[in-house]
């Protein structure tokens, strides 16, 4: 019995030492739970900050200025974008995201309030993200009601009673369908799995099985080997995009208001980005297990939590919000939502496209160079 206990203890010690020697796997296994606690703790919030709001009023007056001041004093909730004369002036802003909400006031707003009329006020909110849209709408209504009470004066005062007839409307998603939010994010998630994860595992598997050496002695150049390895995943990525779009159209009637060719071009750009990330992981991972864990921790979690797929970026604290700028999926999801839900054109999405193209170029060059060094 003692010998068995001693042998068992020795076996456990051996496994512990083996785990401790594999520092890459150990770092992922320990770091991933901590990262998830931090990300979920900060991401699961019901408040939205920095909502870009504008006021629409044909003729400005003192009441408009007072309402503007109330939105500017709303802390970090709103970022006031100014006063315009018509809703049409905000069309481009809603499409490119520079405006998320508009407060539409009627003509002679202040005069009608002074006469004691019940004055209609419309709130137009970007509903592409229904979760965020609902929060933004509620925050705007709260500000209007607070301003309404302030204008009425203290209890017992002889000031005229201010009555606002607040009417809310969601733009781009009037029925608040949540599936419209998740389909663009699902495209990014699927492409990340197919392009990045599978590419990393496939290349590392070739090294583990020793077949990479056989490829290197063939007449093919290293660049041709790389292209040959990733080309099938480009085609699979396209197939997955078509399947997701087709299913979302047939089953859930998700709108596709923009250009299909532009959408496919942007998907191609993101596929190359994901492939480049997979190649980079394959150059560092010694085994398929490490490659899979690295892809899950370094790509899948950021795609889920730091891209706006599930949690709104505006609800994240400043450090995490800044970190989202280096997550390619964030910019890709903005592009896909803009094309599908808002009918945005390249002129509306040029900034996000340029950022994604820059990331793609940098990652592709770095991945090919590192892999060429490893293969050489």
User: What is the total residue count of the chain?
Assistant: 376
Task: Report the domain count for the chain.
Answer: 2
Residue 335 confidence (pLDDT): 96
Q: What is the 3-state secondary structure (H, E, C) of the chain?
A: CHHHHHHHHHHHHHHHHHHHHCHHHHHHHHHHHHHHHHHHHHHCCCCCCCEEEEEECCCCCHHHHHHHHHHHCCCCCEEEEEEECCHHHHHHHHHHCCCCEEEECCCCHHHHHHCCCEEEEEEEEECCCHHHHHHHHHHHHHHHHHHHHHHHCCCCCCCCCCEEEEEEEEECCCCCCCHHHHHHHHHHHHHHHHHHHHHHHHHHHHHHHCHHHHHHCCCCCHHHHHHHHHHHHHHHHHHHHHHHHHHHHHHHCCCCCCCHHHHHHHHHHHHHHHHHHHHHHHHHCCCHHHHHHHHHHHHHHHHHHCCCCCCCHHHCCHHHHHHHHHCHHHHHHHHHHHHHHHCCCHHHHHHHHHHHHHHHHHHHHHHHHHHHHHHC
67 part of a folded domain:
yes
356 part of a folded domain:
yes
Q: Decide which of 171, 200, 222 is a domain's last residue.
A: 171
334 and 251 share one domain:
yes
pLDDT surpassing 70 at residue 342? yes
Find the mean pLDDT for residues 161-165: 75
37 part of a folded domain:
no
162 and 311 share one domain:
no
pLDDT surpassing 70 at residue 153? no
Residue 161 confidence (pLDDT): 56
270 and 347 share one domain:
yes
Q: What is the helix (H) or strand (E) element at residue 122, kind and residue range? A: strand 118-126
Find the mean pLDDT for residues 70-90: 86
145 part of a folded domain:
yes
> How far does Cα 69 stand from its chain's mean position?
31
Residue 367 confidence (pLDDT): 82
pLDDT surpassing 60 at residue 138? yes
166 and 267 share one domain:
no
3-class SS at 286? coil
Q: Decide which of 146, 171, 196 is a domain's last residue.
A: 171
C-alpha 371/C-alpha 376 separation (Å) is 8
Find the mean pLDDT for residues 356-370: 89
Q: What is the helix (H) or strand (E) element at residue 80, kind and residue range? A: strand 78-84
* Digit-coded pLDDT (tens) for 8-46: 677 677 767 776 777 666 666 676 677 666 666 665 566
18 part of a folded domain:
no
Residue 36 confidence (pLDDT): 65
Q: Which parts of 267-336 are beta strand (E)? A: none
Residue 43 confidence (pLDDT): 57
pLDDT confidence tier of residue 162, bands split at 50, 70 and 90 = low
C-alpha 239/C-alpha 241 separation (Å) is 5
C-alpha 164/C-alpha 156 separation (Å) is 20
Question: 103 has which bridge partners?
Answer: 55, 123
Residue 31 confidence (pLDDT): 67
Q: Decide which of 144, 171, 198 is a domain's last residue.
A: 171
Closest CA to 104 of 118, 89, 122: 122
Q: Are 113 and 159 in contact (CB under 8 A)?
A: no
Residue 126 confidence (pLDDT): 93
4 part of a folded domain:
no
226 part of a folded domain:
yes
* Digit-coded pLDDT (tens) for 84-110: 888 899 998 999 889 999 999 998 888
197 and 216 share one domain:
yes
153 and 82 share one domain:
yes
269 and 230 share one domain:
yes
Q: Report the chain's mean pLDDT, rounded to a whole number.
A: 83
122 and 196 share one domain:
no
C-alpha 124/C-alpha 80 separation (Å) is 15
pLDDT surpassing 70 at residue 261? yes
C-alpha 54/C-alpha 104 separation (Å) is 9
79 and 107 share one domain:
yes
pTM above 0.85, yes or no: no
Task: Provide the token pair at 350.
Answer: 């040029």
Find the mean pLDDT for residues 49-60: 87
C-alpha 86/C-alpha 106 separation (Å) is 10
98 and 226 share one domain:
no
CB contact set of 333 (below 8 Å; sequence gap of 6+): 184, 185, 188, 307, 308, 309
Terminal Cα distance for the chain, rounded: 54
Q: Which residue has the higher pLDDT, 250 or 221?
A: 250
CATH number assigned to the domain comprising residue 153:
3.40.1710.10
191 and 264 share one domain:
yes
Domain that holds residue 146: 51-171
149 and 223 share one domain:
no
pLDDT confidence tier of residue 123, bands split at 50, 70 and 90 = very high
Find the mean pLDDT for residues 336-360: 94
188 part of a folded domain:
yes
Residue 157 confidence (pLDDT): 46
């Amino acid at each position: 019995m003692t010998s068995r206990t001693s042998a068992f203890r020795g076996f456990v010690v051996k496994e512990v030492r083996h785990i401790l020697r594999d520092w890459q796997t150990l770092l992922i296994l320990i770091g991933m739970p901590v990262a998830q606690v931090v990300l979920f703790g900060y991401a699961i919030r019901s408040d939205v900050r920095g909502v870009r709001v504008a006021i629409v009023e044909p003729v400005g007056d003192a009441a408009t200025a007072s309402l503007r001041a109330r939105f500017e004093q709303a802390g970090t909730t709103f970022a006031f974008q100014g006063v315009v004369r018509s809703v049409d002036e905000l069309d481009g802003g809603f499409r490119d995201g520079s405006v998320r909400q508009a407060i539409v006031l009627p003509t002679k707003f202040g005069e009608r309030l002074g006469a004691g009329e019940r004055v209609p006020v419309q709130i137009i909110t970007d509903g592409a993200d229904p979760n965020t849209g609902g929060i933004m709408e509620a925050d705007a209504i709260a500000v209007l009601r607070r301003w309404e009470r302030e204008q009425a004066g203290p209890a017992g005062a002889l000031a005229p009673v201010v009555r606002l007839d607040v009417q809310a409307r969601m733009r781009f998603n009037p029925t608040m369908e949540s599936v419209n939010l998740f389909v663009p994010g699902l495209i990014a998630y699927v492409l990340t799995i197919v392009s990045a994860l599978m590419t990393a595992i496939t290349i590392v598997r070739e090294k583990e099985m020793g077949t990479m050496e056989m490829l290197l002695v063939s007449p093919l150049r290293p660049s041709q080997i790389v292209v040959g390895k990733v080309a099938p995943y480009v085609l699979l990525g396209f197939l997955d995009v078509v399947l997701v779009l087709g299913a979302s159209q047939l089953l859930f009637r998700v709108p596709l208001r923009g250009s299909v060719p532009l959408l496919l071009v942007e998907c191609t750009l993101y596929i190359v980005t994901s492939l480049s990330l997979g190649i980079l992981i394959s150059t560092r991972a010694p085994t398929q297990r490490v490659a899979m864990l690295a892809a899950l921790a370094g790509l899948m979690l950021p795609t889920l939590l730091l891209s706006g797929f599930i949690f709104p970026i505006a609800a994240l604290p400043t450090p995490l919000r800044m970190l989202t700028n280096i997550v390619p999926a964030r910019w890709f999801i903005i592009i896909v939502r803009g094309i599908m839900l808002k009918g945005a054109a390249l002129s509306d999405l040029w900034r996000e496209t340029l950022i994604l193209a820059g990331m793609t170029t940098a990652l592709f060059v770095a991945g090919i160079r590192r892999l060429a060094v490893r293969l050489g």
